[in-house]
């Protein structure tokens, strides 16, 4: 019995939407990211951050198998619901299985 070899994909490499350069091959994540009461499977992109009326933090849970960089951002067409973070405030990096509460921003960008 002969094994079949995979034919390499043809065409240009996909571009990274953040910088327009060829994207580095990355193994796909498995698992999910939960933001507040909403779960996103294999999260990519921006998601709403639901601020609670009582001012409590919104929980973000990384149940993927890789670290996730979380950036909280403000919508331009929406009045702020939380005080702005200091300009030098770093992004949040969540390790697999880590959880954190945040009061910053109006949406979460995963990058």
**Residue range 29-76, pLDDT digits in tens:** 578 999 988 998 888 888 888 777 888 889 999 999 889 898 888 766
Tokens of 2: 């002969």
Describe the chain by its helix, strand, coil percentages, rounded to 5. Answer: 0, 30, 70
Rg for the chain, CA atoms, rounded: 18
**Does any domain span residue 8?**
no
Contact 108, 72 (CB under 8 A): yes
**Does any domain span residue 54?**
yes
**Does any domain span residue 53?**
yes
The answer, yes or no, to whether residue 90 has pLDDT greater than 80, is no
**Does any domain span residue 38?**
yes
Residue 107 parent element (H or E):
strand 107-110
- Residue 76's CB is within 10 A of a number of other CB atoms, namely 6
**Does any domain span residue 21?**
no
**Does any domain span residue 12?**
no
**Does any domain span residue 91?**
yes
Q: Provide the residue range defining the domain that includes 47.
A: 32-110
Reported pTM? 0.61
**Does any domain span residue 88?**
yes
Residues 6+ apart with CB under 8 A from 85: 72, 104, 105
User: What is the number of structural domains in the chain?
Assistant: 1
């Amino acid at each position: 019995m002969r094994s079949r070899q995979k034919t390499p994909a043809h065409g240009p490499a996909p571009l990274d939407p953040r910088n327009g350069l060829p994207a580095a091959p990355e193994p796909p994540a498995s698992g999910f990211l939960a933001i507040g009461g909403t779960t996103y499977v294999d999260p990519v992109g921006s998601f709403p951050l639901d601020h609670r009326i009582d001012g409590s933090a919104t929980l973000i849970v990384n149940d993927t198998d890789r670290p996730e960089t979380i950036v909280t951002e403000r919508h331009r067409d929406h009045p702020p619901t939380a005080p702005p973070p200091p300009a030098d405030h770093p992004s949040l990096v969540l390790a697999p299985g880590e959880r954190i509460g945040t009061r910053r921003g109006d949406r979460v960008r995963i990058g």
